[in-house]
Chain A
Amino acid sequence: MLAFFVHRLGQALVVMFVISLLSFSIQDNLGDPLRELVGQSVSEAERQQLREAMGLNDPFVNQYGRFLKKALQGDLGDSYFFKRPALGVILEKLPATLELVLGATLIILLLSVPVGVYCAINPRSWFSKLMMGVSIVGISIPVFLTAIMLIYLFSIHLGWLPSFGRGETLLIWGGYETGLLTADGLRHLLLPSIALSSIMLPLFIRLIRSEMMEVLEQEYIRFAWARGLKRQRIWFLHALKNTLLPVITVGGVQIGTMIAYTILTERVFQWPGMGFLFLEAVNRVDTPLIIAYLIVVGLIFVVTNTLVDLIYGLVNPTVRLTRGNA
């Protein structure tokens, strides 16, 4: 287990190193920090002097080293637009995005497991067939269209739910703003979460269904029937356990996709999260902010993937043998 752990950790570090290298080369090639700093009215000689003083003429490795050292201390430069540390600007928006992901994850978990299991147990019932049909339509509708449709139906047509923003938020410890504790915040969260979950939900229903159907065919389940165990016990204890194993791995990969989709959802709902901020930063060519977003999102990806792999290694020991030696 320890070897597996070290192996995964090493891989995570390599990935973070590559991300930092990429981020740095973006910073190096995108926009001119000097122009952002002093504007147009400074003479060429003074510019050269400043360049030298800021170390912009140093070799790549030295500059990268400096970037890395600062980055490790949490300093990713000041946002050109906000004139504040870029990392701080990003982290302020992190709660909004996390709450959106949390909302969507809850919807997915609460719906996909029961529906998926039902469809696997009763593959011939009309409800299962309906769900399979609905899910393939669901997979074919892009997230941003679901979002637009939800706004059109529930905000414009029926006027039940708000169409943009986070609503009322509460400040809890350490500058963490949450919309989960106010009724208004929850009302605002509902549509974006549904929109975000809309593409994963059918995917997970189909995945759980097919995995469970495969598991139900296996010898140990037949043996359990032969032993005369109760149906519920076979379905929900023996079969479900092994069904959820591959679901964990897919879930880990899907977290990355989900964060990408938050950008789309946040744009449609003007949700003040990281993705929305990132799109604004791209339009303003706010390089430090773009970099900060890359690094924060990269870190989220790497941490969740490593955690998922470790959890998977814990619950399924066979993985450690095959993968640890790879």
Chain B
Amino acid sequence: MSRYRTLFRQSALLYRFRRDKVAIASFSILLLLLIISFAAPFIAPFNPYDPTQIDIMDSNLPPVWQTDGDARFTLGTDTQGRDIWSTMLYGTRISITIGLFAVLLQSLLGIAMGLAAGYYGGRLDSFLMRLADIQLSFSTLMVAIVVLAVFQAAFGSELYNELAIFMLILVIGIAEWPQYARTVRASVLAEKKKEYVDAVRVIGLSRRRIMFRHILPNTLSPILVISTVQVANAIMSEAALSFLGLGMPVNQPSLGSLINSGFQYILSGSWWITTFPALLLILLVLVINLLGDWLRDVLNPKLYKE
């Protein structure tokens, strides 16, 4: 392990990171957001899931610095009387969880397909890539909206609300596999021509071992680059779906459903219900995108392009 640690300390990645203010700032903000959202039960002043802590008499209070503000609720309350700051923390946790798991699913599916397509080639390759083309031409959001809408209509909203988090992970996870498959396939094709692959083949290693132990590690940098952007995209898709009422339910809100529940009241002047979760969502996606951009510049992989 210590060998890897010194390797990392001397790596170009860390060197470049230390010299890039934007990257350091984005990384710190992301880390902070991760910590405060996953520590939400300890940090948040209220538990928005606990009905005994919610009083409808407290509903629709503006932030503390406005005239009607209440000292207990720093950022005000929503129409159900929940503390906005607390629901935001819990909501961020849900958004990040969905984003991470959806990307995990995407990458597992996509890497497997991309490896298979790139390594075996031939009919399997053209079939998988055609499938990827077709699936990409229907945007993820469209596929997700349709699938979730149909499931919601079929299950009824009560059962759907319980399953929402799994459905979101599944749908966003499955819909985006082509991104990974294409990237991995392109790198596999490039790696396959190199001498070390010939060498291990001559040694007589099995195909699977060559694929997973020798080629796959060399495709990691493009995977890392698209993964950051994919997490940002997954979080945005989740927010969009929740905003349409197809995502997380009101009693277990993600950032998107919080924005949705405040949206109806923005016309009547309760701007804080939508604005604070919206700012947090934008900040979260922005720092991930900035990190992704920075990684792309540093690692500079030849990403798949048509």
How far, in whole Å, are A326 and B243 apart by their CA atoms in the complex?
Answer: 41
Complex CA–CA separation, A252 to B138 (angstroms): 10
Among residues 104 to 160 in chain A, which have CB atoms less than 8 Å away from a CB atom of chain B?
136-137, 139-145, 148, 151-152, 156
B271 adjacent to A152 (CB under 8 Å): yes
Given A136-B290, A148-B266, are A141 and B153 also a contact pair (CB < 8 Å)? Answer: no
A11 — which chain B residues lie within 8 A by C-beta?
A: 130, 134
Is B30 on the interface with A (CB-CB < 8 A)?
no
Partner of A249, one of B232, B243, B293, B306: B306
| B150 at the A interface (CB under 8 A) | yes
Once the chains are docked, how many angstroms separate the CA of A29 from the CA of B136? 26
B243 and A264 contacting across the interface, CB-CB below 8 Å = yes
Contact A305/B137 with A141-B282, A294-B146 known, Cβ cut-off 8 Å = yes
Are A136 and B149 interface neighbours, CB within 8 A? no
Bitwise interface map of B from 259 to 302 toward A, beta carbon under 8 Å scored 1, else 0: 10001001100010010001001100110011001000000000
Q: What separation, in Å, do the CA atoms of A140 and B278 have in the docked complex?
A: 11
Q: Is the CB of A260 within 8 A of B145?
A: yes
Give bound CA distance, A242 to B92, whole Å: 43
B267 proximity list for chain A (CB < 8 A): 156, 163
Q: Is A290 an interface residue (CB 8 A)?
A: yes
Contact B263 A260 (CB under 8 A): no
| A49 to B3 Cα, complex, angstroms | 77
**Interface of A, helix, strand, loop or mixed by DSSP:** helix
For A132, the closest partner residue in chain B by CB is B293
User: In the complex, which residues of chain B have a beta carbon less than 8 angstroms from the beta carbon of A259?
Assistant: 139, 142
Contacts A136-B290, A148-B266 given; does A29 touch B259 at CB 8 Å: no
Chain A's nearest CB lies how many Å from the CB of B75? Answer: 17
B96 within 8 A of A: no
A298 partner residues in chain B, CB cutoff 8 A: 138
Complex CA gap A263/B290 in Å reads: 28
The smallest C-beta distance from B243 to any residue of chain A, in angstroms, reads 5
Q: Please report the C-alpha to C-alpha distance between residue A14 and residue B145 in the assembled complex, in whole angstroms.
A: 22
Instruction: State whether A140 touches B289 (Cβ < 8 A).
Output: yes
Please report which residues of chain B, range 167-207, place their CB below 8 angstroms from some CB of chain A when the two chains form the complex: none
Task: List the B residue with the shortest CB-CB distance to A26.
Answer: B150
Chain B residues with CB under 8 A of A246: 305-306
Q: Is B244 an interface residue (CB 8 A)?
A: yes
A282 within 8 Å of B by Cβ? yes
User: Provided the pairs A136-B293, A140-B232 are in contact, do residues A148 and B278 lie with their beta carbons within 8 angstroms?
Assistant: yes
A314 within 8 A of B: no
Pick from A148, A256, A282: contact of B142, CB below 8 A: A256
Report whether A142 and B244 are in contact in the complex, using a CB–CB cutoff of 8 Å.
no
Known A-B contacts A246-B306, A260-B139; A140 and B153 likewise in contact (beta carbons under 8 Å): no
Is A15's CB within 8 Å of the partner chain B?
yes
Q: Do residues A30 and B150 form an inter-chain contact, with CB atoms below 8 A?
A: yes
CB pair B153 A256 closer than 8 Å: no
- Residues A142 and B281 in contact, CB atoms below 8 Å apart: yes
Contact with B along A269-288 (1 / 0, CB 8 A): 00000000011001001010
In the complex, A297 has a CB within 8 A of chain B: yes
CA distance A263 to B293 in the complex (A): 29
User: Complex: how many Å from CA A140 to CA B30?
Assistant: 14
Residues of B in contact, count (CB < 8 Å): 42
- For window 115-145 of B, CB contacts with A under 8 Å fall at 126, 129-130, 134, 136-142, 145
**C-alpha spacing A267/B271, complex, angstroms:** 18
The reply on A215 being an interface residue by CB < 8 A is: no
CB pair A297–B306 under 8 Å, yes or no, is no
B236 engages A142 (CB within 8 Å): yes
- Of residues 21 through 52 on chain A, the ones whose CB sits less than 8 Å from some CB of chain B are 26, 29-31
Q: Does B239 contact A (CB under 8 A)?
A: yes
With contact pairs A261-B141, A264-B243, A301-B137 given, residues A282 and B149 touching in the complex (Cβ less than 8 Å): yes
Question: How far is it, in angstroms, between the C-alpha of A253 and the C-alpha of B286 when the chains are bound?
Answer: 24
B106 at the A/B interface (Cβ < 8 Å)?
A: no
Closest chain B CB from A322 CB (angstroms): 11
The interface residues of chain A lying within 8 Å CB-to-CB of B285 are 140-142
Chain B minimum-CB-distance residue to A298: B138
Contact status B263-A253, CB under 8 Å: no
Q: Does B71 touch A at the CB level, under 8 Å?
A: no
Q: Which residues of B contact A196 (CB under 8 A)?
A: none
Candidate in A141, A143, A145, A253 with the most chain B CB atoms within 10 angstroms: A145
Most buried by A among B263, B266, B281: B263
- A260 with B141: CB separation less than 8 A: yes
Question: Which chain B residues border A253 with CB–CB below 8 Å?
Answer: 136-137, 139
Q: Looking across the interface, which residue of chain B has its beta carbon closest to that of A250?
A: B306
User: Is A57 interfacial (CB 8 A cutoff)?
Assistant: no
Chain B interface residues (CB < 8 Å from chain A):
126, 129-130, 134, 136-142, 145-146, 149-150, 152-154, 232, 236, 239-240, 243-246, 259, 263, 266-267, 271, 274, 278, 281-282, 285-286, 289-290, 293, 305-306
* A-B pairs with beta carbons under 8 Å apart, 13 shown: A136-B286, A137-B282, A145-B282, A148-B266, A148-B274, A163-B267, A246-B306, A249-B306, A259-B142, A260-B142, A267-B243, A282-B246, A301-B138
Beyond the given pairs A282-B153, A326-B130, 8 more chain A to chain B contacts, judged by CB atoms under 8 angstroms and listed by A's residue number, are: A140-B286, A140-B289, A144-B243, A145-B259, A261-B141, A268-B263, A279-B149, A285-B153
